[in-house]
């Protein structure tokens, strides 16, 4: 499962990638969450990219 953080207008939300759409989720991404009926086209949202570099098992 791929989860993305993205901006839809003024809101910043999390969603699950399903094909070429992001389906909004409610709840914590670290425990329980549920998918909503709201889906967004990937081409119409601004995704946030967070990179964590690992070197020798420790964040760089």
User: What is the reported pLDDT for 60?
Assistant: 47
pLDDT value of position 55? 54
How far apart are the C-alpha atoms of 60 and 45, rounded to whole Å?
29
Which pTM value belongs to this model?
Answer: 0.72
pLDDT, tens digit, for every residue of 42-51?
888 888 876 5
Q: Please state the domain extents for the chain.
A: 3-59
Confidence bin at 53 (pLDDT 50/70/90): low
| pLDDT score at 39 | 95
Answer for the pair 26, 42: CB distance below 8 angstroms, yes or no: no
SS3 string, the chain, reads CCEEEEEECCEEEEEEEECCEEEEEEECCCCCEEEEEEEEEHHHCEEECCCCCEECCEEC
What would the pLDDT profile of 22-43 be if each residue is shown by its tens digit? 999 999 888 888 999 999 998 8
């Amino acid at each position: 499962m791929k989860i993305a953080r993205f901006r839809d207008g003024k809101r910043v939300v999390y969603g699950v990638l399903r094909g070429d759409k992001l389906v909004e989720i409610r709840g914590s991404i670290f425990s329980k969450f549920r998918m909503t009926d709201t889906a967004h086209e990937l081409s119409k949202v601004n995704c946030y990219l967070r990179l964590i570099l690992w070197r020798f098992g420790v964040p760089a």
